[in-house]
Structure 1
Amino acid sequence: MPEILTSDGVRLHYEETGTGTPVLFVHEFAGDHRTWEPQMRYFARAHRCITFSQRGYLPSDVPTDPARYSQDRFRTDVIEVLDGLGIERAHVVGHSMGAYTALHVGLHNPGRCMSVVAAGCGWGSKPADRDASIQLCEDIARMFREEPIEAAAFAYARFPMRNAYEAKDPRGFAEFARWLGEHSGLGSALTMLNLQLKRPTLWELEDALRTFSVPLLVIVGDEDEPCLDGSLFLKRTVPTAALAILPRCGHTVTSEEPAAFNDALSELFGAAESGHWLVHKLGR
């Protein structure tokens, strides 16, 4: 089983396929390395594609120390995956929790990024909803810690922001929910309490985001209510940002609308690699 050993001794399972410009995919809280299969199959035709399960997500290690789950640590894991595979620069594609991490990679390690994608980003960030978001994080962590993983996964998969996915694609949604039920309850609880709850909000990152220099594509479904305001905030704040809103689409954009999602990424990758991402603003 291919794995990267991080500097703090955690083994991260990864998979890769294809050759060409590297693309690294960073999954959401409810996902794992398998989440990106529609992208791995499509982009491997012209790119070297890497996906991995983050710490706390089987078959990667599940540390039991809460201090080993933080936004800085998850960002460092991305860099160490790149280092372990001998990759200097890559397109870094993140979804939801992974989108926050991808943004932090772009902020702190811009030289390692050809571009950044922040899909379904913004959950828990809106200032007016912050207190409620903190309480929800605590409730979700308690559910994953105390309930059988199958019961916790069943409930979490059916949060309102995924209703569109279940209605449009019951087969795909069932696969997503089944994979979620194979996660570690402990890893999920520790991730929610120590990454999701404690990471800086987008609004707290405003000053830093105004200096963001890497080509950024923000993608959100119009049925993904918790992430709409955050996605608009990124578009209005980050000087290199473009925004794609997918109609009739919920939170699980990578699997719910893979064709539209892949088309948007293809345009970003081509423009970023050719140096034409900001051509309309540079007058060229």
Structure 2
Amino acid sequence: MAKKVPVKVDGRELTLSNLDKVLYPDCGFTKAEVIDYYSRIAPVLLPHLAGRPLTVKRYPDGVTGQSFFEKNAPDHTPDWVRRVNLPVPGSTKNRESIDFAVIEDLPTIVYYANLAALELHVPQWRVDDDGNALPPDMIVFDLDPGAPATIVQCAEIALMLREVLKAEGLTARPKTSGSKGMQLYADWDCREEPSAYAKRLAQLLEKEHPKQVVSVMAKAARPGKVFIDWSQNNPAKTTVAPYSLRARERPTVSTPLTWKEVESCERPEDLVFTAPDVLARAENRGDLFARA
């Protein structure tokens, strides 16, 4: 029988279970350690989740077991978890709308960590106090390396893209994906439709650097190049949140970077950070992804 542990988090009563279950078998990282990570990283994580409808990727049997995306907050979700009902055109389950959770406090983070929601994904837009969708406030460029390219090549393209964005009056903020690639974000002023804008910049870089950059989704076009995925700006899409864990062999994290780290990247290992690394970084450096 699964051992259950009642806890109180900021006045909310939760029941934690299976704390000793190993979710990352290669390094013995347990559910208790996942909950500990999300609890301690919360001060820098919460600002990037606030107001953003949540999609989680759950791994109840760990990263080597079955996983599933969950957008709809089920009926048994605690009533103190904020939920917003939003339309989902083209839903694969023929639903006209979904009740999305929104993580805005520590108890909600702990609740989802206990569900083995290892990955937290959010869109580039928020909802207002009444739960209505607002225009996008961020734009993202997802840099995905096609083998044998790695995050080292992503770093090179990120530096190019930083200069293009700077010329456009936008300040880019880099982070690792926590997987193979890297992402650049910038505050967005709705000067035009963000996917179209991002696609145009991706095509510009592809034209200038055809041996290094590709802007089309076809896998066949990617080997040895970095795909600049502009489509993540579609309002229906989400991107892994800053400071979210990833379901890799080790508990790697989508980690905000300094531009100095991007500039000095020489090996893929230079930009791999695990949960303990990121906790130490946040303690020493604060939130590197904070808006200016």
Q: What is the TM-score of this pair, normalised by structure 2?
A: 0.27
Select the structure that is richer in strand: 2
Select the structure that is richer in helix: 1
Q: What is the TM-score of this pair, normalised by structure 1?
A: 0.27
- Rg larger in structure: 2
